[in-house]
Structure 1
Amino acid sequence: MMKKEDKAEDSGKGMQASATFRINMSDSTGVQITSCLLNGENYLTWSRAMKIALTAKGKLGFVEGRWKWVFKIKQRADGSVDRYKARLVAKGFTQVEGIDFHETFAPVAKLVTVRCLLTVAVARGWEMHQMDVQNTFLHGNLDEEVYMRLPPSFFSRREGMVCCLRKSLYGLRQASRNWYSKFADALRGYGFHQSGADHSLFIYSRGDVFLGVLVYVDDLIVVSNNSAHCASFKKYLHQCFRIKDLGPLKYFLGIEVTRANSSLFLNQKKYALDILTECGMLGSRPSYVPMEQNHGLYVDSGSCLEDASRYKRLIGRLIYLTITIPDLSYLVHVLAQFMQDPRQPHWEAAMRVVRYLKQSPSQGIFIQPNSLDLIAYCDSDWAGCPMTRRSVTGYFIMLGGSPVSWKTKKQTTVSRSSAEAEYRAMAATVSEILWLRSLLSFLGVRIDRPTPLFCDNQAALHIVANPAFRERTKHIERDCHFIREHI
Structure 2
Amino acid sequence: MIEPMTWKDIEKRSDLNLWKSALENEYLSQIKNDTWEIVPRPKDRKRPGEDFHETSSPIVRSSSIRVIAALSAEFVEIHQMDVVTAYLNGTLEEEVFMEIPDQLSDVLKRVLAKRKICSQKAIITEENLLQTAKRWNKGLDESVDSVCLLKKSLYGLRQSGLQWYKRLSKLLIDISFEALLQDPCVFVALKAATGCAAVVSR
TM-score normalised according to structure 1 size: 0.30
Partner of 1:132: 82
> Separation in 2 of the partners of 1:152 and 1:207?
48
> Separation in 2 of the partners of 1:203 and 1:179?
19
| C-alpha contact 1:201 1:213 (8 A) present in aligned 2 | yes
Partner of 1:122: 73
Q: How does 1:342-421 map to 2 (within 5 A)?
A: none
Change (3 A) 1:64 1:55: farther
Change (3 A) 1:190 1:207: closer
Q: More strand per residue: 1 or 2?
A: 1
Partner of 1:142: 92
Q: How does 1:70-469 map to 2 (within 5 A)?
A: 94-97=48-51, 101-123=52-74, 125-155=75-105, 157=140, 158-206=143-191, 208-217=193-202
> Separation in 1 of the partners of 2:22 and 2:37?
16
Which amino acid letter does the alignment assign opposite residue 198 of structure 1?
Answer: D
Which of 10, 24, 28 matches 1:55? 28
Q: Which has the larger radius of gyration?
A: 1
Q: What are the ranges of 5 or more consecutive residues in structure 2 without an aligned counterpart?
A: 39-46, 106-136
Which of structure 1's runs of 4+ aligned residues deviate more than 3 A?
33-41
State the aligned residue count.
Answer: 157
Which amino acid letter does the alignment assign opposite residue 2 of structure 2?
Answer: R
| C-alpha contact 2:37 2:151 (8 A) present in aligned 1 | no
Which amino acid letter does the alignment assign opposite residue 95 of structure 2?
Answer: E
Identity %: 27
Deviations 1:374-427 (A, max 9, x none): xxxxxxxxxxxxxxxxxxxxxxxxxxxxxxxxxxxxxxxxxxxxxxxxxxxxxx
Change (3 A) 1:133 1:207: closer
Deviations 1:155-210 (A, max 9, x none): 25431222311111111111111011111111001110100111110111225321
Q: More helix per residue: 1 or 2?
A: 2
Which amino acid letter does the alignment assign opposite residue 117 of structure 1?
Answer: I
Deviation (angstroms), 1:40: 5.0
Which amino acid letter does the alignment assign opposite residue 52 of structure 1?
Answer: N
TM-score normalised according to structure 2 size: 0.70
> Separation in 2 of the partners of 1:148 and 1:207?
44
Choose between structure 1 and 2 for higher RCO, CA contacts under 8 A separated by at least 6 residues.
2
Say what the alpha-carbon RMSD is for the aligned residues: 2.3
| C-alpha contact 2:60 2:199 (8 A) present in aligned 1 | yes
Deviations 1:21-48 (A, max 9, x none): 933xxxxxxxxx7576443541100100
Partner of 1:22: 2
